[in-house]
């Protein structure tokens, strides 16, 4: 059965810390891995990763995929209170026209001032 | 413009009511989705429309009825809901082809009394 596992489930840090969030997966016919940030409303798209070893970066956030070891990490440097959110990882299998994403349970990040 | 809009933001309905949720996107995306999200859980896929045709129905009860009037609009008609259907209902869209980046609307917070 396809599955996505995120760790840790929750994390509390202080402003300025660097955090690393993990996402491992077991999916038949992997196509892509996506990271989302969810505050109180809808998930906001962060990154889509399809190739191993190529880092995607946006400001203080970066992510990389390892297709051999079947995991991805999301790094946040110099954290701010506005980074407090649930970070969701989802994997898209390569199944023709099927666009169903397989979701992890998320990592709840709290950044304290 | 990566915006997906949803109305209403909040909805309270009785178990005998009929109501509709609306979703709109103007990104030229040809795939649109309905998700249901309960607290502290990832989004749960309900329906997928691809080129205005229903391509995935995740065994959703018939009291939820989707409709895609055109490529920009997606509706979810609700009838005879149960209290356990109370949740955040999210609409998303994505391009067809190789991209599977899904962009989410802000959601409708539904309470069934």
pLDDT digits over A9-25, tens only?
999 999 999 999 999 99
Are B31 and B49 a contacting pair, CB within 8 Å? yes
C-alpha neighbours within 13 Å on the C-beta side of residue A24: 6
Question: CB burial class (10 A; 0-12, 13-18, 19+) of residue B81?
Answer: buried
How close is the nearest chain B Cα to the Cα of A9, in Å? 11
Tell whether B101 lies on the interface with A, counting CB pairs under 8 A: yes
pLDDT at A61 over 90: yes
Q: Residues 36..75 of B with a Cβ closer than 8 Å to A: which?
A: 41-43, 45, 48, 50, 55-56, 58
Average pLDDT over residues A73-96: 92
Going by C-beta distance under 8 Å and a sequence separation of 6 or more, which residues neighbour residue B43?
A43, A103, B35, B36, B37, B90, B104
SS3 sequence, chain A?
A: CCEEEEECCEEEEECCCCEEEEEEEECCCEEEEEEEEECCCCEEEEEEECCCCCCEEECCEEEEEECCCCEEEEEECCCCHHHCEEEEEEEEECECCECCCEECCCEEEEEEC
| DSSP at B59 | S
SS3 sequence, A60-89?
A: CEEEEEECCCCEEEEEECCCCHHHCEEEEE
Interface probe for B, chosen from A42, A105, A110 (most Cβ of B below 10 Å), is A42
Are B13 and B81 a contacting pair, CB within 8 Å? yes
pLDDT at A96 over 70: no
Q: Residues 9..28 of B with a Cβ closer than 8 Å to A: which?
A: none
Decide which of B1 and A112 is more confident: A112
Local confidence band at A98 (pLDDT 50, 70, 90 cut-offs): low
Q: Encoding tokens for residue B84?
A: 């356990």
Are B89 and B11 a contacting pair, CB within 8 Å? no
Three-state SS at B83? helix
Are B95 and B71 a contacting pair, CB within 8 Å? no
| DSSP at B2 | -
Per-residue tens of pLDDT for chain B, all 113 residues: 558 999 999 999 999 899 999 999 989 999 999 999 999 999 999 999 989 999 889 999 999 999 999 989 999 999 999 999 999 999 999 987 445 789 999 999 999 99
How close is the nearest chain A Cα to the Cα of B86, in Å? 15
User: What mean pLDDT, rounded, does chain A reach?
Assistant: 93
């Amino acid at each position: 059965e396809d599955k996505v596992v995120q760790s840790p489930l929750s994390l509390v840090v202080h402003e300025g810390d660097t955090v690393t969030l993990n996402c491992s997966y077991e999916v038949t016919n992997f196509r892509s891995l996506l990271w989302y940030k969810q505050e109180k409303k809808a998930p906001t798209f962060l990154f889509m990763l399809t190739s191993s070893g190529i880092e995607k970066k946006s400001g203080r956030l970066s992510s990389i995929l390892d297709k051999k070891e079947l995991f991805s990490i999301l790094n946040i440097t110099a954290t701010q209170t506005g980074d407090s959110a649930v970070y969701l990882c989802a994997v898209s299998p390569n199944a023709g026209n099927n666009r169903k994403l397989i979701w992890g349970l998320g990592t709840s990040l709290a950044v304290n001032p | 413009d990566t915006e997906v809009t949803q109305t209403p933001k909040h909805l309270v309905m009785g178990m005998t009511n009929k109501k509709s949720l609306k979703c709109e996107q103007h990104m030229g995306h040809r795939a649109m989705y309905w998700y249901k999200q309960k607290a502290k859980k990832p989004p749960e896929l309900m329906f997928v429309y691809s080129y205005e045709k229903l391509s995935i129905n995740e065994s959703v009860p018939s009291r939820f009825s989707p409709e895609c009037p055109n490529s920009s609009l997606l509706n979810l008609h609700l009838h005879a809901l149960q209290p356990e259907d109370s949740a955040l209902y999210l609409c998303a869209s994505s391009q067809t082809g190789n991209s599977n980046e899904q962009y989410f609307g802000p959601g409708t917070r539904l309470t069934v009394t």
